[in-house]
Amino acid sequence: MSRSTAPTAESTTVPAEKAPEPPRPTYAVLNAVITDGEGGEEVLRLAMPSEPFGTAAWQMWTVGLYLARLYRHQVQPSAATLRAHLTSGVVPFPTPTMRFPYGLLHDSRPTLILDLELGPLDASGWPKTSLVVVEQEVKPRGWTRVRRFRTLRATAKAVREELDDECSHLAGQKEQRELFELAAKLCEQAGTIQQRALESAAPLLGGAVREGMHAEGEQRDRLLLELEEFCGQDAPLPDDAALAPPVQTVTGHLERAPEALADGTARVYVRLAGACGTASWRADRPSVVICTARGAAARGALTLRPGTAVVAVGRAGTAVYQHEGDVRRRADTFEVLHIGVDLAAEAPTSAA
C-alpha cells in the first residue's frame, strides 16, 4: 500500500477575540464651596452616576430647591445642611451623595460638574450665589460647554429655563410620559422660586437705582450692568446703543395695577414725583406716564401694588398714534430697564 506524499496542512492557531472592555463609569459631580463671610470655608464634593438623572436640568433644580429652603427657613448655608438636603428624600430623584475625592480639572469621567459657591444670606434673605455648569462628552473628541451664573437671580432663572427645555425634549414621547409630568411640575416650582427671588430683590433694586440717579458715562454703564446681573437679566445690549436715548431715572407712585400683556411685557402707570435733570417732560404734559417693561423688569413690576412708591431707570421717548377722526396724537413713553420699590419716598397723599 503506497503512502501518500501530499504535504500535510500546517495547523494554524486563531487568536482569541479580545473581550470588550466594560463601559467606563461616568459621573455627575457637585462641587460646593461655602463661605461664612468671616474667612471660614467648607468644601463638599459629591458624585452620582450620570444616568439617568445626572444632567443639568435635574441637578440644577436640586440646587435651586436648596437655595429656596435656605430662604424659607432663613438658615445660613453650610456643608451639613447641603448634605442633609441631598440625602433627605425631598428631591424625587437621585442626587449626588458619594464622596468624590478626585481633582475635577483633569478628570474626564464627569459628564456634568456643578461648581457652586455660596456665601451668607444677604439683605434680600437669599444666600450669595455663583454657579458654573460644565457639561462634557467623555469621548476622545467630545465637546465641552461651560456656563456661568454669577448671582442668585441668574441661577434661579437658569434653573427654570433648563427644566423648560427638558419639558420640550420629553414632550410627545409616550414612553417618557411620567418623566415629562415630573419635569413639568418641577418647572412650575422653579418658576415660583424665580419669582420669589425677584420679589425679594425689588426693594434692594430700588435703592441701587436711587444711588445712581445722577450717574453719567462709564459710571452709569457700570451701574446698569450691575443691575442686570443683580436681577439675573441677560438681555443683550441693542446694536444701536450709541443712538439710543439717554438713560434716565424717574420716581413716583403706581397709579394703578400693572397690566400683563400677551407679548410678555408689562404696562406700568407711574404718577411722577420727580425725574433726573435730563428728563424731557414739560410741566404742561400729563403727570402720569405709561411705561413699558420687559423681561425681568416686567416680572418685577407685576409684583407691585397700586400706590407703591417706585424708582425706575429707563429711556424716555414719544410715540405718535391715530386717534378718533384720524387725529394724530403724541404720547410720552418710557422704556423701563429696571424698576423697584423706592424706600426713601414718602407715602403718597392719595392713591388712585
Q: Which single residue is written with the C-alpha cell 424706600?
A: 343
The mean of the pLDDT values for the chain is 77
- Cross-strand bridge partners of residue 75: none
HSE-up of 227 (CA within 13 Å, CB side)?
29
Please tell me the predicted confidence (pLDDT) of residue 230. 53
pLDDT tops 60 at residue 280: no
Q: How far apart are CA 333 and CA 320, in angstroms?
A: 10
Q: How far apart are CA 319 and CA 292, in angstroms?
A: 12
- Give the DSSP H or E segment for 149: strand 144-149
Please tell me the predicted confidence (pLDDT) of residue 331. 64
Question: Alpha helix (H) ranges present in 149-216?
Answer: 152-170, 177-211
Please tell me the predicted confidence (pLDDT) of residue 248. 74
With CA atoms as reference, report the closest residue to 91 among 192, 185, 197. 185
- Bigger pLDDT: 278 vs 101: 101
pLDDT tops 70 at residue 10: no
